[in-house]
Amino acid sequence: MMLNAVGTSLVAVTAFGLTTAANYALSGFVDWGLAAIFIIGGVIGGMAGTNVARRLAGTTGRLGTVFAALIFVVAAYMLYRGVGVLI
């Protein structure tokens, strides 16, 4: 179930990302060398993440725990950055 949630999220992110990327590309705002580096890194990271997710999904609740911890870390960072902007 957790892998389905992660996969669904990635589909949504991909759809929004491709739409935005196409808009920037058509406007001429894309550095294609840098874009290639990010794409290659994303593919390698995606394959590595898939392997890690499969290993963690096999252990009891480990994937859910890691995912929840990551969400809390991102939320804490966003709150930290948000408070810094307000002060």
Residue type, 41: G
Residue type, 3: L
The secondary element (H helix, E strand) that includes residue 83 is: helix 62-86
Where do the domains of the chain lie? 2-86
What DSSP character marks residue 3? H
Q: Does the reported pTM lie above 0.85?
A: no
pLDDT of residue 72: 94
Which string of DSSP letters, residue by residue, matches 7-72?
Answer: HHHHHHHHHHHHHHHHHHHHHT---HHHHHHHHHHHHHHHHHHHHHHHHHHHSTTHHHHHHHHHHH
Task: Give tens-digit pLDDT for 23-58.
Answer: 999 999 989 999 899 999 999 999 998 888 888 777
